[in-house]
């Protein structure tokens, strides 16, 4: 029997991308949508809605549908729990979740993955379904990083690693060895917009290296979920900020809409480099 | 004989503040201004202009003027060296500077301090002249930090320490435990302006703690030079960004225009807390 795949769908284009891929392969799948979110569903595919308070019922339902594999796709914000809605079976799951709710997003996600695994599901990363989403080592564009860009990338990687160790951000901008910006809660786009406004005045040598945007997962992050993502919007932001290119950690960052992203980079004369850490 | 003080003057109000203080005490002093900079000189005090290429001549001149003590006041950007202007005596000093020129701002500053010390000058911090510039432990305003603010300050201190260890920034904004912004090359004001634009949308609980701006020197920094600074402009930026207050590392951050700064904070209902690290 072909195994079915449940796509636990959060925000953005990723759930739809995975659904389309599974559909093309003729593989059975279902989108699972948490109440309070509306999944992007360009294919009008079947959707199972669930609430966190009744997670055990979702497990039963997915099993009934023949789903044996689960992929988390796209971010969801942390739900509030309504104790009045918890069913008895799901209540048995809560002892594993409550401490994780206190301990931060990563811990909560690990705990949720653990619950799916304990329920017998095989939890895989999006790249198990669409490997081209997560590029390995190499420069993906005709434009290549210069020696200066490579040095800036190495410095940015050092910064993002140090930040990741204290659970802050997954991105940074470095130009001519100097850190121009660090990604924080408001995210990549907000950082790049700001940089576009101030970048003209903050490079030591205006004629020197333009700088790179670097993105990587957090150290120790479970690579099956919540990998950082770039896409055509990232390219547009990096171009407006006047940077030379984008560097992602090889094997650790997804490119959504890969063709459109690479085409946009080429049109802007930017490089995209998946760099071995 | 009263010792004279040479104020090696960089940008901003600090050189003038120190000059005014020394004048009030009737202590002899001189402002030393590096060519290419124009020192703020509200008192019209005597100014010795120098060029880095002839540092040995500055040493001689300061000695002739009876200056035995040196204080570095205000930032200077790294000068370019013109080999054609170097005099023979200063050329002897260069071997100590050249490697530091490669190694970063902190190393360069340490090397320059070393040269002044080797030349027999006593290098002191600005707080040796005006101790109230660098507050010790305590809340300086009528408004007090809440328990949430104290927790946010602790998290911000952790972040700034981690960043300082890799030589990035000296400030961060944390609200409700989450890092909203990290100070990078463009500086505090640029960070706070950005936060004012996006802050409304990036707190987990809109009715919860507003967050704090935290500032500290880099770990291992020579506390005699280039301490981070806050002032009335910082208070205005923090108010616009909707934060609850300012936390500085006790003994490690200067408040310029202390009265105006504290008055502005009080008017905005903000706290300023010099926190023991």
Residue-wise pLDDT for B140-186, tens only, equals: 999 999 999 999 999 999 999 998 888 887 899 999 999 999 999 88
Q: What is the mean pLDDT of chain A?
A: 90
A 10 A CB-CB count for B95 gives: 8
* Model confidence pLDDT, tens digit, residues B37-83: 888 999 999 999 999 889 999 999 999 999 999 999 987 777 777 88
B168:A185 CB<8 A = no
Is residue A98 less than 8 Å (CB to CB) from chain B? no
Tokens of B116: 């002044």
Question: Which positions in chain A touch B190 (Cβ < 8 Å)?
Answer: 194, 198
- Asked if B179's CB is within 8 angstroms of A184's CB, the reply is yes
Residues 6+ apart with CB under 8 A from B44: none
B4-129: which CATH topology? Answer: Rossmann fold (3.40.50)
Q: Does the structure show a pLDDT above 60 at A167?
A: yes
Distance from CA of B163 to the nearest CA of A (A): 7
Spell out which residues of chain A touch residue B169, defining contact as CB-CB under 8 Å: 179, 182
Nearest CA in chain A to B177: A104
Q: How far is CA B135 from the centre of its chain?
A: 13
Residue B239 confidence (pLDDT): 96
Tell me how crowded residue B85 is: count the other CB atoms within 10 A of its CB: 12
User: What distance in Å separates the CA atoms of residue B114 and residue B98, rounded to the nearest whole number?
Assistant: 13
| Distance from the A193 Cα atom to the nearest Cα atom in chain B, whole angstroms | 9
CATH hierarchy code of domain A134-275: 3.40.140.80
Torsion of CA A265, A271, A274, A277, to 10 degrees: -140
Nearest to B195 by CA among B174, B222, B223, B216: B174
Please state the rounded mean pLDDT for residues B188-199. Answer: 86
The answer to whether the CB atoms of B185 and A201 lie below 8 A apart is no
To test the contact with chain B by mutation, choose from A152, A157, A181, A211 the residue with the greatest count of B C-beta atoms within 10 A, namely A181
Pick the range with the lowest mean pLDDT from B115-124, B213-222, B247-256. B213-222
Q: Which two tokens stand for residue A54?
A: 């009744």
**Who among A158, A165, A202 is closest to B185 (CB)?**
A202
Q: What is the pLDDT of residue B80?
A: 74
Which helix (H) or strand (E) element contains residue A271? strand A271-275
Start and end residues for every CATH 3.40.140.80 domain found in chain B: 134-275
Burial class (CB in 10 A: 0-12, 13-18, 19+), B254: buried
With contact defined as beta carbons under 8 Å apart, do A145 and A153 qualify?
A: yes
Q: Does B103 touch chain A (CB under 8 A)?
A: no
Residue A202 in this model has a pLDDT that exceeds 80: no
**Residue A107: pLDDT above 80?**
no
- Compute the radius of gyration of chain A from its Cα atoms: 20
What is the C-alpha separation between B210 and B152, in angstroms, rounded?
10
Do residues B247 and B213 make contact, with C-beta atoms less than 8 angstroms apart? yes
| Cα B120 off chain centre by | 25
Is there a contact between A186 and B163 if contact means CB atoms under 8 Å apart? no
| Coil, helix or strand at residue A92 | coil
Report yes or no: A181 at the B interface, CB cutoff 8 Å. Answer: yes
- The confidence band for B29, taking pLDDT boundaries of 50, 70 and 90, is very high
Subunit contact A186:B198, Cβ cutoff 8 A? yes
Whether the Cβ atoms of residue A276 and residue A137 lie closer than 8 Å to each other: yes
Q: CB burial class (10 A; 0-12, 13-18, 19+) of residue B148?
A: middle
Nearest in space to B232 (alpha carbons), one of B201, B203, B267: B267
- Is B151's Cβ below 8 Å from some Cβ in A? no
Is B192 touching A (CB cutoff 8 A)? no
Q: How far is CA A86 from CA A59, A99, A107, B65, in A?
A: 14, 17, 21, 82
Question: What ipTM describes this predicted complex?
Answer: 0.73
- Least trusted range by pLDDT, from A51-65, A98-112, A215-229, A247-261: A98-112
CB contact under 8 A, B186 and A201: yes
**Which residues of chain B make contact with A186, given a CB cutoff of 8 A?**
180-181, 198, 201-202
Assess B185–A contact: CB distance below 8 Å, yes or no: yes
Contact A166 B158 (CB under 8 A): yes
Query: Is residue B19's pLDDT more than 60?
Result: yes
Q: How far is CA A182 from the centre of its chain?
A: 17
Chain B residues whose CB is inside 8 A of the A194 CB are 190, 194
| Spatial separation of the C-alpha atoms in residues B179 and B75, rounded to whole Å | 28
Half-sphere exposure of B76 (CA within 13 A, CB side): 25
Question: What is the per-residue pLDDT for A183?
Answer: 92
Among candidates A187, A162, A174, which has minimal Cα distance to A244? A174
Contact status of A182 with chain B (Cβ, < 8 Å): yes
Q: What is the pLDDT of residue B28?
A: 95
Residue of chain B nearest A185, judged by CA positions: B180
What integer pLDDT is reported at residue A186 of this predicted model?
A: 86
Other Cβ atoms less than 10 A from the Cβ of A103: the count is 12
Is residue B169 a contact partner of residue B184, using CB atoms and an 8 Å limit? yes
Task: Say what the pLDDT of residue B153 is.
Answer: 98
The percentage of chain B sitting over the pLDDT mark of 90, rounded to a whole number, equals 61
Q: What is the mean pLDDT of residues A13-25?
A: 93
Residue A1 has pLDDT above 60, yes or no: no
Q: Do B190 and A179 touch (CB under 8 A)?
A: no
Confidence tier at B201 by pLDDT (50, 70, 90) = low
Q: Where are the alpha helices (DSSP H) in chain A?
A: 14-24, 55-64, 88-91, 94-103, 105-118, 126-129, 147-165, 188-198, 232-240, 258-268
Q: Distance from B168 to chain A by nearest Cα, in Å?
A: 7
Q: Give the per-residue pLDDT at B222.
A: 80
Q: How many CB atoms lie within 10 A of CB A88?
A: 7
Averaged pLDDT of chain B: 90
CA distance B237 to B235: 5
pLDDT surpassing 70 at residue A220:
yes
User: Is B182 an 8 Å CB contact of chain A?
Assistant: yes
Nearest one of B195, B215, B222, B218 to B256, comparing CA atoms: B215
Confirm or reject contact between B101 and chain A (CB < 8 A).
no
Q: How many CB atoms lie within 10 A of CB A206?
A: 8
Chain B nearest-CA distance from A180, in A, is 5
Please list the residue range(s) of chain A that carry CATH number 3.40.50.20.
4-129
% of chain A beyond a pLDDT of 90: 61
């Amino acid at each position: 029997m072909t195994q079915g795949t449940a796509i636990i769908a959060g925000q953005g284009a990723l759930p739809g991308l995975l659904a389309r891929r599974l559909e093309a392969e003729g593989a059975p799948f279902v989108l699972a949508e948490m109440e309070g979110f509306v999944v992007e569903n360009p294919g009008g595919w079947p959707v199972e809605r669930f609430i966190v308070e009744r997670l055990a019922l979702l497990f039963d339902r997915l099993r009934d549908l023949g789903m044996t594999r689960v992929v988390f796709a796209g971010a969801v914000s942390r739900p509030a729990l309504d104790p009045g809605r918890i069913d008895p079976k799901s209540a048995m799951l809560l002892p594993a979740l409550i401490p994780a709710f206190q301990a931060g997003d990563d811990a909560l996600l690990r705990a949720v993955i653990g619950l799916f695994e304990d329920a017998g599901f095989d939890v895989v990363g999006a790249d198990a379904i669409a490997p081209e989403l997560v590029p390995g080592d190499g420069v993906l564009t005709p434009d290549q990083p210069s020696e200066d860009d490579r040095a800036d990338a190495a410095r940015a990687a050092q910064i993002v690693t140090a930040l990741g160790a204290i659970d802050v951000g997954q991105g940074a901008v470095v130009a001519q060895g100097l850190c121009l910006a660090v990604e924080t809660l408001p995210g990549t786009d907000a950082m790049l917009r700001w940089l576009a406004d101030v970048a003209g005045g903050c490079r030591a040598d205006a004629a020197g290296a333009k700088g790179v945007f670097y993105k990587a997962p957090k150290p120790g992050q479970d690579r099956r979920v919540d990998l950082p993502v770039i896409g055509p919007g990232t390219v547009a932001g990096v171009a407006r900020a006047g940077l030379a290119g984008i560097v992602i950690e090889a094997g650790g960052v997804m490119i959504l809409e890969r063709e459109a992203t690479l085409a946009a980079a080429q049109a802007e004369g930017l490089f995209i480099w998946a760099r071995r850490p």
